[in-house]
Chains A and B, each alone.
Chain A
Amino acid sequence: MKVVIVAGGQGVGKTAVLLHLLRHAQKAGLKAGVFKIDALDAGDELVFIQAGFAAKGHSAKDVCPDHEAMVSLGRAWDWAEDLGLDLLCIETAGLCHRCSPFLKRALAICVVSGLAHLGTPESMRPIVEASDLIVLTKTSLISPTERHIFTAKLRAIQPQGRVFNVDGLTGEGVGDLAAMVLDSRDIRFMDIEPLRVTLPMGYCHFCQGIGSGHER
């Protein structure tokens, strides 16, 4: 099974990009699905289900979704395996971006909005730095120069990461991204650990999940 982890802030277009990505995967004959981790039970997985894809929403409750992603990997894997998926996409929107939810052997995609502040790539450094592919969304709304400056900032943090300009609404640019995903190698359950980046030394309430009964 191919496993892709898609991380990025709230509202940057992760779901829209993934939806187009799944369509490409389907065309290539892959059975693909999304395990979507959100802070609240927002029912966002319905977007995928309505489009005819397998999707499961997982509420992180009081825990940061990025942290929750790490502890619920086994659950995501079991869900995908039961369905016989060829491609499992794990979508997670972290809260503070001090840690990175990426695994050593799964393809890591970081999504950043072109409408964000110029300091955003730096403030999300753990995710940008540890990613394989960077998706810059909403670039059709900004000037080419802003796109260039943004791309330069991202490349400065992750020189090896390819930057893809993707329009989440129309799906423009997803083709190249999909090719990389389809080209990624299959991994086994034992490959889903370890993390690429060590967790931060300090925890906040959201990391620990106050009152939710989560054990750390």
Chain B
Amino acid sequence: MPKMTTMKIEAGTDKSGAAESYGALSFHGGQVVAICGPTGSGKTRLLSDMERLSQGDSPTRRKVSLTGVDEKLVESGFAVGRISQTMQFFLDLSVDQFIEMHVAARSANTDKSAVIKAANNLAGEPMSGSQPLATLSGGQARALMVADLVLVANAPVLLIDEIENAGIDRHAALEFLVKENRLVFLATHDPLIALRAHKRLILGEGAIKQVIETSPGELQTAAKLEATEREVKELRRRLRYGESLG
């Protein structure tokens, strides 16, 4: 039986240097965990600790460990895949060349058309394999990063910063990301994404203040939000095609 991906976070300190109160937290493959909190509360910092598997040497002094994952992958530094808001493609390659090069670097056997198809499903506006990376729109670029990270890198832990601002279909993305034995962390300000997660971490002053499990009552709120969202989506469609919104 394959081992379960487990990420353990041992408490560090908040921005003032005071100790965090949770002792240690463990998260497992198959879970989606939202990371919430006001701007400056330490969400990005937490993602950095997770990405680097910090060993008490980051400003937060947290210790993060990953087990149940191929050790070679952990050593190579690519067990945890992160997509942040500031990332862009800089390489002077076409979409096809980019995927081919990545597949070769990983010695993977992923079909590149599957990656493009998945990216198009997330982005809405289709890209072609011959298109240079530099000509992709913001949403297309982010969609390709996500599709590539999931299908080619197949990272056991994914960290995604504010997917709601990435210009991609959030629902399609959530469905695409969640997989048995993959652990997904989403830093978000979006209530629907937070409620779609199994649990959420609340940050403040640089510390993890609370861990909240999504309750049945909150799932009802999520269903209401989804209905509203569908309504807005329809209005947006009508707006785009010059129809009356009255």
Task: Give A residues with C-beta under 8 Å from B.
Answer: 114-115, 117-118, 140-146, 148-149, 151-152, 163, 165, 172-173, 175-176
CB distance A149 to B101 under 8 Å?
Answer: yes
Which of these binds chain A: B82-90, B121-129, B201-209? B82-90
Q: Give the chain A neighbours of B52 by CB distance below 8 A.
A: 172-173
Q: Give the chain A neighbours of B102 by CB distance below 8 A.
A: 145, 148-149
Residue from A142, A148, A173, A175 within 8 A of B89 (CB atoms): A142
Residue from A142, A172, A175 within 8 A of B87 (CB atoms): A142
Q: Give the chain B neighbours of A114 by CB distance below 8 A.
A: 90
Q: Give the chain A neighbours of B155 by CB distance below 8 A.
A: 144
Q: Once bound together, how far apart are the Cα atoms of A140 and B145, in whole Å?
A: 14
Q: Give the chain A neighbours of B55 by CB distance below 8 A.
A: 175
Is B57 positioned at the interface, with any CB of A under 8 Å from its CB? yes
Q: Give the chain B neighbours of A165 by CB distance below 8 A.
A: 77
Q: How many residue pairs bridge A and B at CB < 8 Å?
A: 63
CB distance B78 to A144 under 8 Å?
Answer: yes
Residue from A142, A148, A172, A176 within 8 A of B153 (CB atoms): A148
Is B176 positioned at the interface, with any CB of A under 8 Å from its CB? no
With A118-B92, A149-B101 as contacts: A141 and B48 at CB distance below 8 Å: no
Is B18 positioned at the interface, with any CB of A under 8 Å from its CB? no
Q: Once bound together, how far apart are the Cα atoms of A163 and B76, in whole Å?
A: 9
Of B52, B78, B90, B149, chain A has the most CB atoms within 10 Å of the CB of: B90
Is B67 positioned at the interface, with any CB of A under 8 Å from its CB? no
With both beta carbons as reference points, the residue of chain B lying nearest to A118 in the complex is identified as B91
Q: Give the chain A neighbours of B92 by CB distance below 8 A.
A: 117-118
Distance in angstroms from A63 CB to nearest chain B CB is 32
Of B48, B77, B83, chain A has the most CB atoms within 10 Å of the CB of: B77
Distance in angstroms from A180 CB to nearest chain B CB is 13
Q: Give the chain B neighbours of A172 by CB distance below 8 A.
A: 48, 52, 58
Distance in angstroms from A100 CB to nearest chain B CB is 25
Is B14 positioned at the interface, with any CB of A under 8 Å from its CB? no
Closest 10 CB pairs of A and B: A175-B57, A152-B105, A143-B145, A145-B102, A144-B81, A115-B90, A143-B87, A145-B148, A149-B105, A149-B101
Q: Once bound together, how far apart are the Cα atoms of A31 and B245, in whole Å?
A: 70
Is B152 positioned at the interface, with any CB of A under 8 Å from its CB? yes
Q: Give the chain B neighbours of A115 by CB distance below 8 A.
A: 90
Q: Once bound together, how far apart are the Cα atoms of A165 and B51, in whole Å?
A: 11
Q: Once bound together, how far apart are the Cα atoms of A173 and B155, in whole Å?
A: 20
Q: Once bound together, how far apart are the Cα atoms of A144 and B82, in whole Å?
A: 7
CB distance A146 to B153 under 8 Å?
Answer: no
Q: Once bound together, how far apart are the Cα atoms of A173 and B77, in whole Å?
A: 12
Residue from B48, B77, B98 within 8 A of A145 (CB atoms): B98
CB distance A143 to B105 under 8 Å?
Answer: no
Of B55, B76, B91, chain A has the most CB atoms within 10 Å of the CB of: B91
Distance in angstroms from A119 CB to nearest chain B CB is 10
- The proximity string for B residues 45-62 relative to A, scoring 1 for CB distances below 8 Å and 0 otherwise, is 000100010010110000
